[in-house]
Amino acid sequence: MKSHFELTIQPRKGWQPIDFNEVLLYRELLVFLVWRDIKIRYRQTLLGGLWALLQPLIAMLVFTFIFHRLAGMNSDGAPYPLFAFAGVAAWNFFSTSVSQSSNSLISNQQLVSKVYFPRFFIPLGAIGAFLMDMLLSLLLLGVLMLYYHWPLTWNVLELPIFILGALMASAGAGLILSAVNVSFRDVKYAVPFLLQMGIFATPVIYPIHYIPARWQVLIGLNPMAGVVVGFRHALLGSPASWSLMGLSLGVSCVLFFVGLLLFRRMESVFADVI
């Protein structure tokens, strides 16, 4: 028995709910957009997908030399290279996802202006493509853990929670910035700067106990702070700050739904403005 779905395209104003029937109807398009972005990203590159491994590896080496060897910064238990790599793997996913998704509508303006489909699939597709990079980074982290003889604990079962948190934080920020970027092209200049500063406001290169207790609530408002701490807890068995992680995951959820609603509110003018 065939199921039929009738879609009426008409002007819409104000805040729009998410049409889940429409999302289900176009679900294969989202998969296609993810796969397309994976192929495009490394096309005509000498090293191809190896860049997904080289970027966090080089960052780990630089951070280990500067902050651990020269500045004397220590980890919270695991060898500092593993500590740094786990943080970089989570942060790289967020920063590259937000950077690419924020410019995704402009990069696909012909698609936006000529074909109808759920527009939020474009930034979500750009973000979904970087899940492959995260997977490769986690596999390399596993190899490094074998090299350092660092054991994997049952905490790893909690990892999907923090991956979901990173995904929701990236999607929320990406949806908001991509929508705003259609009308205000300053976004493409602001985003790289904010991401460069954001790594210092996130415990990527330092353990969370370096932050005074009275400031940890403020740090928890950064959705990636709890995700980075959670990645280390799940992968390396590092101490867990559940209040910080819970607050950050809550902020990630709020950011995602606010981003989705704001995107839907603004998308009626995309085809005209872009």
**Segment 120-157, tens digit of pLDDT:** 898 999 999 899 899 999 999 999 999 999 999 999 99
Kindly report the length of the chain: 274
Give the E-state strand segments of 8-97 in sequence order.
none
Instruction: Give residue 167's pLDDT.
Output: 96
Furthest CA-CA distance within the chain: 68
Instruction: Give residue 15's pLDDT.
Output: 59
**Segment 220-268, tens digit of pLDDT:** 999 999 999 999 999 999 988 888 999 999 999 999 999 999 988 888 7
Judge contact between 73 and 206, C-beta under 8 A.
yes
* pTM exceeds 0.75 for this model: yes
Question: Is it the case that residue 91 has pLDDT exceeding 70?
Answer: yes
231 burial type by CB count under 10 A (0-12 exposed, 13-18 middle, 19+ buried): buried
Confidence of residue 118 (pLDDT cuts 50, 70, 90): confident
Confidence of residue 176 (pLDDT cuts 50, 70, 90): very high
Judge contact between 171 and 256, C-beta under 8 A.
yes
